[in-house]
Each structure stands twice: as structure tokens, then as C-alpha cells.
Amino acid sequence: MNNNISEDIALLAGLAGLFHDLGKANVLFQKKLRGKGKSFEAFRHEWLSLRLFQAFVGTLPDRDWLERLLRPQEIDEQVLLAALISDSTGQSSKDKPFKLWQAQGQPLARIIGWLILSHHRLPQWPLQAAGQQGEPPVSRADEFLNAALEPCWNSPQCLESWKVKEIADNWSFAKGLPLKSSTWQKTAVSLAKRALRRPDLFSGEKDWLADVFSMHTARLALMLGDHIWSAHEPAAVWRDKKCKLLANTDRKTGEKKQHLDEHLIGVAHHAVLLARRLPQLRRHLPALARHKGFRQRSGRGRFAWQDAAFDIACAVRTRSERQGFFGINMASTGCGKTFANGRIMYGLADERRGCRFSIALGLRTLTLQTGDALRQRLRLQEDELAVLIGSQAVRQLHELRQEEQVSGSGSESGEDLFDADQHLLYEGDLAGSRIGLWLKHSPKLLQLVSAPILVSTIDHLMPATEGARGGKQIAPMLRLLTSDLILDEPDDFDLADTHALCRLVHWAGLLGSRALISSATLPPALIKALFAAYLAGRTVYQRSCGEQPDWPPAVCCAWFDEDRAAQSDHADEKGFAEAHQQFACQRAERLNKAEPMRRAALLPVSGEKLAPAAAVRALAEAIHGVVFRLHDEHGQSGAGQDAGRKISVGLVRMANIRPLAAVAKELLTMPPPAGHHLHYCVYHSQHPLAVRSAMERMLDEVLNRKDEQAIWRHPAVRAALDSFPEEDQIFVVLASPVAEVGRDHDYDWAVAEPSSMRSLIQLAGRIRRHRQGKAPSTPNLLVLSKNYRAMTGERPAYCHPGFESRQPEFALRSHDLRELLDFSSQLERVSSIPRIIEREPLDARGNLADLEHVHLEAELFGAGAKQKYAALWWEKQATWCYELQRRTPFRKSEPDFEYLLYADDEDDELAFKKVNERDNSLIPCENEFERIELECADGVLTWGSCDLSVELRRLAKKLDMELADVCRRFGVLRLRQLSDIGKWMYHQDVGAHQAL
């Protein structure tokens, strides 16, 4: 960032800081600070501050009101208050400040006003306004600021009923304003002089609210300055004794703290300092430098492709810093993508300054696995790599699992790729550094910002754009500003989440970060949208911070897989899309030539508009009828003491938990043929945390098949072999989609209930994941021709998860896969080809794979009836508010409750309790659950679960904790709040579920 733009941003933040809390001078707010009246007001202080600033500016051109600040002693508060526009009626205001400032040619006033308005939270249309005005159409987002913004966007409570006296006090300033403070006036003069020396700041030639980088970086500095100074002890040197107005109170004691003049000065002062230091922040943070492991050649082995990837990254290192970088790693499962991604990012970095990058993943479990793998192979210390998942209980259970892990389970090949001879580059002591001082009150956020390598769930970075409240945005914005981004498996998110993914990648480009997208199954529409988002962000960054602001950026782009690497620069979406298509087609040709390790076949099921019980029975019979054939054809034969015996571990994947539980209970009642024994594990997200953790620990170990003989030695398998004489022992994991992504599991075979092409490809990646060997001669993946929804006549059927919807253009004509897929080209040889290549012509209503491509394109770029689409984020000028985020939220979910299986002491039985979110107390709720019994046929047992009562007591002893505390931490499960569920069914082997 050049010094000129840094100075401009500092002045924007400083001037806004000077006025940002003027509205706190109102009588109602001052009463609140003194412990009188309500804890909130009809109109928030940001809105009043905006109106006061508008009254100060009036119709003066930007230069003139800056010059007015040179003579602050001439400001007549009474005249200013007389010019104050009151919105006290709560009606739509005809005097819209941003519209007036635009009409009057006051761009500097507009940006300062927006910073004042948004310094706590971004404005959004209030739900309370539903009965008073229509929700503004998102297609007209460009007009929101001038035409739609009302006081209720900032203060929705102003629409409620208030007493006349409260409203009057809210708009009354009986003790005046802090503008007469001599210290405030000195600061105002100083900032005005500096601003007047920067004519580009106020010339009117630049629309600051169109410069997304400057406006949001200034807001970041203002928010961080407010955060730092509000936590600071009062400074008498910045206080005029004549100013009796308060700004805040001590959060812990409730005592009066800072006066309003010293608060305004302190925030302005720190905002200026912060904005000027942000450009140099990255070089003062820890980084990994001179790391031999990243540079070491892989040779001719399995990971040799990483050398070519690293070489390309090194070749574009200098250009990528100047032009940005957008990379795509499409290597197949098992080829070392995680470490290749690290090598690419290291290759892009200046070795003298070191590399800093963030790996954003979708699942907590995968985050922990990735963090462990990197730490072990790089031999990194805790202060070199941070792993954040947002759950102390999950982390604690994971660490316990590492301690208790069965020896001999093996680890991924490629151990010798990394070297212990590395150095952590620090410039100064972090604890006493500027960033350390900035975030000393938020140690977790400091860790997120400072760690050279951050492995986290994407949720920790998403608030950069998805945080409604500014405080949530500070740390992730600082992270994107100071490190590069690896976005792992972005195509595994729900269709609705693609909006937020694009916003995050746009922000990475906007803040100067380089981005690498990593997935073997990236569809063309998604990768095109992510590039478009990055390019739009990088273009703004280039205009604001580039050495040649008028030069359109040709982003350095690169593609990688296990066979080749390619690089080219692109300044537009069309050229990029063509280059990506060429790479994807060449990859598809190679995949078609490879010997397939997964072969699929359709498993016909019949029925249309069946009753739920009949559909469950039909599904169970179809699955039960093929389990033994799959076991015979793909099972593993024993040797030595186990000669003549055979075991297999198969996966039965269901789309939703309700039919999964029903099918599981049905299968348990079906006896196997003579000489066979069945073991069923029911795996989904609605188990208590301790049960799910124990289940995943067992599955992680059993399904690590890198040592093919290790499974015969595992205690969970060995116990079955020793306890039951049958020669054929079949272990079946009945799972929801949690089994598809994030688990490094290797199954012998699978049966899938379909929901999308994406899920089938992901599921196939769990079959023979660790064992290459000889390709199967018969199908090892059977796909049901219909899912439960299709069999019961529910429409849409392939949704939640899936891409079908009620919109006519995305509603399938048939729900039988025999009519929805071209078997020979799309399913028989299971690969990523149907995801990475679009057929021609596309038939969204007649083909399951085509539907995904068409629906994605519409969701991302808009088509047909789609009014809300992801590209609106960078096509429209709407980043100033929270409307697009509100209407397309990340990980939107239904309301849920936190339940516990709880006991106060050792002698009590576990009972269901509900956590009261208001005070964290426990509410008895056994009446909301029905504990069920399971009926198992001869030769059938449940497997992989644990006795929760025993497990919680074991954890209490292991961790030296009270049983009640262990229950509150590890006996938890979250269940949706649904009005029609009746009761939750519960059995510890099946988990919590609803009856169909």
C-alpha cells in the first residue's frame, strides 16, 4: 500500500473517530450511563451521531467544512442543534443524508457519515418493519443507501412503542456537545490541517463509497481504535474539565469511566495510528522462513507432482505479489493435496520475510486432522501453528483420542517430505508488539491473527464479511490482510452457502491476499464465480494500493493436479474460464484412461407414494439383499489363525437422519444367512458428543487400511472374531452424509441413497481410499435408484441435501435414477468427471448431474427467477450494509436447543435436561424424549457405540472432573426446534431421531 492511500485512510478513520459518538450526549444515553432508565434507547447513538454530523456539515462543500474544523471555537452548538434533523416520529425520513450528500457533491461527508453509522454494526432492513414497508428488492441494492436507508436500519427498536418523554430525551442535548472541549478542538484542528494538505481527499473526483478497500479498511481502523481505547484507562490529558458528558462505564464494575471528549479524541488518535500501521502489519508478524522441508524435492515417487506445483509458485512469486494469485488444486484423494497446498503457498512467499497462510476447512474433525498432520510432519510448535475449531470439548476429546490411539494404525506416506531444519521468523516480541497490545484483551483473536499457519474451520474467517457486528469482523479481516488463503473443499458446502464463500474470496482479493482453492470435484460454475469474486476484489485493491492504479490486474492463475501443472494470467472471466475448461478436459481424459478403483451399479427399488413404513421396509430389504454379495465379492480374507474367515466393512449412506434411523431399526430385525454375522454402527450427528467421539475414534482406527492386516488386530474387530464363530463377519456403518466428507475412511464397499451427483462422488472416495492394488471386477458401489423422498412421493425429492427445488426450472421430471443418469458415462466408472465437466446440451430437469451445474450457475450469477445470486456482492454497491448477508446467510439453520444427558453424582442415572440459554440453568425434559428398545435378530448386533454412562464416568476419572461438569461438557447434543416432532426417540446405539 502506498503512503498516500495509507494517509487518506488514516484521515478518514480519524475524522470519523472525532464525530463517531457525538450522539451519546443525548439526555437518555447520559441517564443510562448513570444507571437511570432503560438500558437502550429508541434511536441508537450512531444514528444520532450521523444526524449531528450532518447538521455540522450542512450544505458546505467538503473543503469548506474541513476549513470550518480549523476554527472549532466558532462552532455554535445551539445553531448546530437547531439544524439537527429529528427522526423522532419514526416515520420515513424525506431528508436522507447520503442522498443529499451525493446530490450536493460531498463524497468525503458521505464516507465519514457511513463510518459513523456503521462503527458498531452494519445497517440492515429490520424485520420489525415488515408491517410498515416492504422489504426492498435485492435487485435494486445499488439504491439502498440513497433511497431505502431509514433510522430503523440502525435502530429497529425505534419502531416499537415509546413514551413521549423517552423520545424527547433521546433527541435532547441538555448538557450540550463536547465540541467546546479545548482538547477536542485541538485534535480537530490537527486532523483538519492534515486533511487539507491532501486535496485528493476532498476534491470530489473520487467516490469514497465506491472504493471498497479504503472504506472498509478505514472502518476496520475505526472499530479497532474504538475497541482498544474503550478498554483503556481514562486519560486526563485528553479531557477538558468543563466537559461533564460521559462516554462509557467500566464493564466489570459499572463505574463511570471515560468522558465523551477524551473518548472521541482517543478513538480518533488510535484510528489514525492503526490505519497508518496496517500496511506494515504483515512484516511484523511471525512467519515461517527458510524451511528446508518445503523446498525439498519429492523425487519420482507418489508426490513428485508437488515439485512442479512448487516450481510454478516460485516462478510467479514476484508477479503474484504485484498482481495477486488465484490457484486451483484438483489433485485426487490420497495424492498429498494438503502438503502440496502448503508448498505452493511457501513458493509464493518471499523466503526472507517468510510465509503466512490460513487453511479454511468446513468440518471441525477435518480441521483437527489437518492440524495434527501438519504439526507432526513439520514438527511445529504451538506458537507456530494454530488450530481453531471453536469447541473446547471437541478439542479435549480429540486430544484424549490421540493419547489413547491404538498403536500401529499408520500414517500417510510422505513422512520424509518435511525436515526439522526450519526457523520461525519473528520481528520483535509478539507479546509486547503493536498487534499484541491491540488484541491483548482477546487472546484467541490474537492467536488467530498472529499464527504463521492457521488451520481453522471456515467459520473463524467468515465474520470478515458475515459479521453483522463490527467487533466480530476485526480479527478475520486482520487475518486476511496479513496472510494468504487456502480454501479447502468449497464445493462441499450447501448451495445456499456459495454466496458467503464468494464473499470471503472477494474479501481475500480485496485485502491483498493470494488464494488457493483445493478440491478434486470443483464444478465450472463455482470456480468461475470464485475467480470472478477474487478478480473483482483484487481490482479494487489494485486501484487503491497498486503501483499503477490505472492498470487492470491480470491475476496470476495456476492449475495443479497429480499429473501436471499449468499457469497463465487472466484479467477477465472469459479467458480464465477457457483456460480452466482446457485443464479440466485434459484431466478428464486422464481419469478416463485410469483403471477404476470404484465401479458403480444401480440397485432398483420400486414404489411411488408409499406410506413411510412401506418405504422404509422396501429400502431395508433392498439393502439387506445385497450386503452379502458385496461382502463376498469385496471382503478381505484372513490368514494364519484367521484363515478361512472373511471380514468386510461397508458403508450404507442415507441422506437424512429420520429415514436412516428407521432403516437401521428395520435392518436390525433381519437375520443374516447361516455362517454370517452382522454388526451395525449407526453414525450421524445426533449422538451425544461423547458417544460420537468414541464412535469416530473407533471408525478412524478400523478404517485406516494403509496396513491391510491391521484391521484383524483392532480390538473392536478382534472381539467380534473371537466372540462369534461364523466365518463371515460383516461390519456395516449406517451413516448420514457426515461419512462423505472429512473422514479419512477406507471402506470395502458401499450402498448409497442418492441425493446429488456430488454426494455420490464424495462417497465413492471413501471406497478403497487407502488401497490401490487391483481394480474391482464387479461393482463395489451400489446406488439405490430412488431415495426415501421419491418413494413416498415427496416433492422435491433430491434436496436437503441436493440441488432440486420447488422452482419449476430446477424440478426434476423423474425421480428414478435409471432415467436421471447416463449410466455408462456418468456413473459406471465413478470419478469426478460429471462434476468438473458440463455435458452439452445441459438438461437440468432430466439429468441429476446437469441439474447441479445449471442450479449452481443460477445461484452464483443469476438466471430465470433467481433474484438473489452471489455475484450481486461485487456487481452492486451493497457492502456498506448487511442486507445481502442477511438474505443469504452462511450455514443457515433452524433454531435448536442444547440438550444434555446429565447426572449430578455417581449414583444417579443419566436424565435428559435442556439448557436454558438465558441463564445456562438446566431444565428437566424427560417428557420430550421416548427411550426405545432395539430388537435384534439372531446373528445381528450393534457395533461401535458405547455406554454413555460408563464413558462419562471414565472421562470424569481421566480428567479429574466432577461427573456433573463432565456431563455438561461431553453429554451434550443439539436438536432442532420443530413444532411437529412430538417426542424425540432415543437409544444410545441409534442416537436421537424423529419418528417418520
| Predicted local distance difference test score (pLDDT) of residue 715 | 95
Per DSSP bridges, beta strands 287-289 and 515-518 are unpaired
Look up residue 989 and give its three cell numbers.
446405539
Contacts of 401 (CB under 8 A, 6+ apart): 693, 697, 700
Per DSSP bridges, beta strands 453-457 and 896-902 are unpaired
| Nearest-angstrom CA–CA distance, 433 and 167 | 46
The whole-number average pLDDT for the span 884-907 is 89
Instruction: Kindly report which listed range (119-128, 253-262, 282-291, 871-880) carries the lowest average pLDDT score.
Output: 282-291
Question: Which of 354, 311, 349, 309 is closest to 328 using CA atoms?
Answer: 309
- Scanning the structure block, which residue is given the C-alpha cell 461427573? 963
pLDDT band at 105 (very low <50, low <70, confident <90, very high): very high
Contacts of 58 (CB under 8 A, 6+ apart): 65, 83
Q: Please enumerate, as own/partner, the contacts of 836-840 that have beta carbons within 8 Å and a separation of 24 or more.
A: 836/330, 836/521, 836/522, 836/523, 836/524, 836/584, 836/587, 836/588, 837/524, 837/584, 837/585, 837/588, 838/523, 838/524
Give phi and psi for 645, each to the nearest 5.
-105, 160
User: Are the C-beta atoms of residues 119 and 470 closer than 8 Å to each other?
Assistant: yes
pLDDT band at 431 (very low <50, low <70, confident <90, very high): low
Instruction: Kindly report which listed range (235-239, 456-460, 506-510) carries the lowest average pLDDT score.
Output: 235-239
pLDDT band at 549 (very low <50, low <70, confident <90, very high): low
| Nearest-angstrom CA–CA distance, 388 and 456 | 5
| Predicted local distance difference test score (pLDDT) of residue 427 | 38
The whole-number average pLDDT for the span 512-530 is 97
Per DSSP bridges, beta strands 646-653 and 636-637 are antiparallel
| Nearest-angstrom CA–CA distance, 38 and 30 | 11
- Scanning the structure block, which residue is given the C-alpha cell 454412562? 949
| Predicted local distance difference test score (pLDDT) of residue 377 | 65
| Nearest-angstrom CA–CA distance, 248 and 24 | 9
| Predicted local distance difference test score (pLDDT) of residue 279 | 83
The whole-number average pLDDT for the span 145-170 is 93
Look up residue 582 and give its three cell numbers.
482446457
ω before 178 within 30° of 0 (cis)?
no
Question: Which of 358, 471, 374 is closest to 422 using CA atoms?
Answer: 374
Helices (H) and strands (E) in the chain, counts: 40, 25
Would you report the helix, strand and coil content of the chain in percent, each value rounded to 5?
50, 15, 40
Question: Which of 985, 565, 606 is closest to 792 using CA atoms?
Answer: 606
Whole-prediction pTM? 0.93
Q: Furthest-apart CA pair in the chain: how many Å?
A: 100
- In the predicted structure, residue 416 carries a pLDDT above the cut 50: no
Question: Which of 405, 987, 943, 990 is closest to 723 using CA atoms?
Answer: 943
| Predicted local distance difference test score (pLDDT) of residue 451 | 85
**Cβ–Cβ contacts within 10 Å for residue 327, how many?**
27
Instruction: Kindly report which listed range (453-457, 493-497, 610-614, 896-900) carries the lowest average pLDDT score.
Output: 453-457
- In the predicted structure, residue 74 carries a pLDDT above the cut 50: yes
Instruction: Kindly report which listed range (241-250, 462-471, 541-550) carries the lowest average pLDDT score.
Output: 541-550
- In the predicted structure, residue 413 carries a pLDDT above the cut 70: no
**How crowded is the C-beta side of 44, counted as CA atoms within 13 Å?**
19
Give the CA distances from residue 6 to residues 119, 202, 275, 757, 837, in Å, rounded to whole numbers and listed in that order: 19, 15, 7, 48, 44
Three-class DSSP labels, 705-750: CCCCCHHHHCHHHHHHHHHCCCCEEEEEEEECHHHCCCCCCCECEE
How remote is the C-alpha of 508 from its chain's centroid?
14
| Predicted local distance difference test score (pLDDT) of residue 376 | 67
| Nearest-angstrom CA–CA distance, 362 and 491 | 10
Taking phi first (over 0 means left), then psi (-120 to 50 degrees means alpha), and beta for anything else, what does residue 274 get?
alpha
Instruction: Kindly report which listed range (307-316, 438-447, 522-531) carries the lowest average pLDDT score.
Output: 438-447
pLDDT over 70, % of the chain: 91
| Predicted local distance difference test score (pLDDT) of residue 381 | 60
Side chain identity, residue 82: A
Instruction: Kindly report which listed range (42-56, 253-267, 504-518) carries the lowest average pLDDT score.
Output: 253-267
Side chain identity, residue 723: S
Look up residue 546 and give its three cell numbers.
497498486
User: Are the C-beta atoms of residues 733 and 651 closer than 8 Å to each other?
Assistant: yes
Mean pLDDT of the chain: 90
| Predicted local distance difference test score (pLDDT) of residue 384 | 65
Higher confidence at residue 468 or residue 328?
A: 328
Taking phi first (over 0 means left), then psi (-120 to 50 degrees means alpha), and beta for anything else, what does residue 195 get?
alpha
Side chain identity, residue 541: Y
**Segment 777-816, tens digit of pLDDT:** 999 999 999 999 999 999 999 999 999 999 999 999 999 9
Higher confidence at residue 386 or residue 488?
A: 488
Look up residue 255 and give its three cell numbers.
463505574
Instruction: Kindly report which listed range (69-73, 232-236, 477-481, 869-873) carries the lowest average pLDDT score.
Output: 232-236
User: Are the C-beta atoms of residues 455 and 359 closer than 8 Å to each other?
Assistant: yes
Return the SS3 of 359. strand
**Segment 276-333, tens digit of pLDDT:** 988 888 888 888 887 777 777 887 777 899 999 999 999 999 999 999 999 999 998 7
- In the predicted structure, residue 748 carries a pLDDT above the cut 90: yes
| Nearest-angstrom CA–CA distance, 787 and 815 | 8
Residues forming a β-bridge with 752? 653, 783
Contacts of 814 (CB under 8 A, 6+ apart): 820, 846
**DSSP assignments along 472-494, one per residue:** HHHHHHHHHHHSEEEEE-GGGS-
The whole-number average pLDDT for the span 265-276 is 95
- In the predicted structure, residue 616 carries a pLDDT above the cut 50: yes
Look up residue 952 and give its three cell numbers.
462419562
**Segment 671-729, tens digit of pLDDT:** 999 999 999 999 999 999 999 999 999 999 999 999 999 999 999 999 999 999 999 99
| Predicted local distance difference test score (pLDDT) of residue 841 | 94
Q: In what order do the strands lie in the sheet with 991-993?
A: 929-931, 984-987, 991-993
**Segment 360-371, tens digit of pLDDT:** 988 766 677 777
Q: H helices of 643-688, where?
A: 657-668
